[in-house]
Amino acid sequence: MKPWPYPRIIAHRGGGTLAPENTLAGLRKAKEMGYAGVEFDVMLAADATPILMHDETLERTTNGRGAIAETAYRDMEKLDAGSWHSAPHMGEPVPSFERAGRLCIELGIWADIEIKPAKGYEAETGRAAALLARELWRGAPMQPLLCSFQPASLAAAKEAAPELPRGALTKRIPPDWEHWMQVLGCVSLHCDYRLLQPREARAVRDAGYWLLSYTVNDPHIVRVLFDWGVDAIITDRLDLIGPDFA
């Protein structure tokens, strides 16, 4: 099996706990800490602009109110997505996926792009994220990985930009995981480390797929997972794990 070609330690939602999630400040923080790979979430605003956002509503991470799918990006752009984290980040904007992607390329950091659709927008979000990723990373030395918990998003990404690699996200690895990997043409399976068994890790690797685990914040657990054959982990604790943990 080809070795995992991307960074083994991936910063969760941009800068993990060190910066407001899914912001340009988070991507810069990851780079500043020496991380070569970041994960972030892509959702569609009401006008179908792909943006970086985890929740389906604005309340937790911005000073706005309401549903992402009902808010146009021109209104979201004015919001403060940094104050909830800390005062120095006051005024940090909600970035468009386009700006975030361009920044990753400029900083030379690899992107693990989670397609995070609001309910009912699974295929639309998968298609939009894949088409924009194709355009942004055209000719770039390292292609991003598109992943999702939603099979419909992965299917739409596959149809729109089949050449971009895809990863299937799951909490526990389901009994029919191999079927889904084949149908969706995925190269990697990403699971919750707390629900992973060593025999499952072996089975995934033996079947020729890469295996990732989230969200791992304890260096001892990273060591155990790597011993089980996990290829890469996603962490919130950029300060504890370190980009070169191997």
Which residue, 168, 210, 53, is CA-closest to 117? 53
- Give residues 99-118 in contact with Ca ion (rule: CB under 5 A): 114
In this structure, what is the dihedral angle of CA atoms 51, 57, 62, 66, given to the nearest 10 degrees?
110
State yes or no: is 85 an active-site residue. Answer: no
**Residue 190 binds to ligand G3P (criterion: CB under 6 A):** yes
- Give residues 97-156 in contact with ligand G3P (rule: CB under 6 A): 114
Nearer to ligand G3P, 114 or 122 (CB): 114
Annotated active-site residue in 12, 85, 89, 190: 12
Can you tell me which of 21, 41, 92, 122 binds Ca ion, judged by CB under 5 A? 41
Can you tell me which of 43, 136, 234, 241 binds ligand G3P, judged by CB under 6 A? 234
Alpha-carbon distance of 36 to 31, in angstroms, equals 7
Alpha-carbon distance of 116 to 152, in angstroms, equals 11
* Minimum CB–partner distance for residue 21 and ligand G3P (Å): 8
Q: Look up residue 10 and give its amino acid.
A: I
* Minimum CB–partner distance for residue 43 and Ca ion (Å): 11
Work out the widest C-alpha separation in the chain, in whole angstroms. 49
**Residue 41 binds to ligand G3P (criterion: CB under 6 A):** yes
Can you tell me which of 15, 20, 22, 39 binds ligand G3P, judged by CB under 6 A? 39
Can you tell me which of 214, 217, 231, 232 binds ligand G3P, judged by CB under 6 A? 214
* Minimum CB–partner distance for residue 147 and ligand G3P (Å): 6
Query: DSSP readout, 47-109?
Result: T--EEE-SSSBSTTTSS--SBGGGS-HHHHTTS-SSTTT-GGGTTPPPPBHHHHHHHHHHHT-
Alpha-carbon distance of 150 to 129, in angstroms, equals 13
State yes or no: is 54 an active-site residue. Answer: yes
Alpha-carbon distance of 178 to 207, in angstroms, equals 8
* Minimum CB–partner distance for residue 78 and ligand G3P (Å): 25
Using the structure block, give the residue that is written with the tokens 């972030």: 40
**Minimal CB distance residue for Ca ion:** 114
Nearer to Ca ion, 36 or 42 (CB): 42
Size of the site for ligand G3P (CB under 6 A): 10
Alpha-carbon distance of 173 to 13, in angstroms, equals 22
Tokens for 21? Answer: 């999630």
Inter-residue contact 35 to 53 (CB < 8 Å): no
**Residue 210 binds to ligand G3P (criterion: CB under 6 A):** no
Residue 134 touches which member of Ca ion, ligand G3P, none, C-beta under 5-8 Å by kind: none
> Where on the chain is the footprint of Ca ion (CB under 5 A)?
41, 114
Please give the positions annotated as active site: 12, 54
Q: Where do contacts with ligand G3P occur on this chain (CB under 6 A)?
A: 12, 39, 41, 54, 114, 169, 190, 214-215, 234
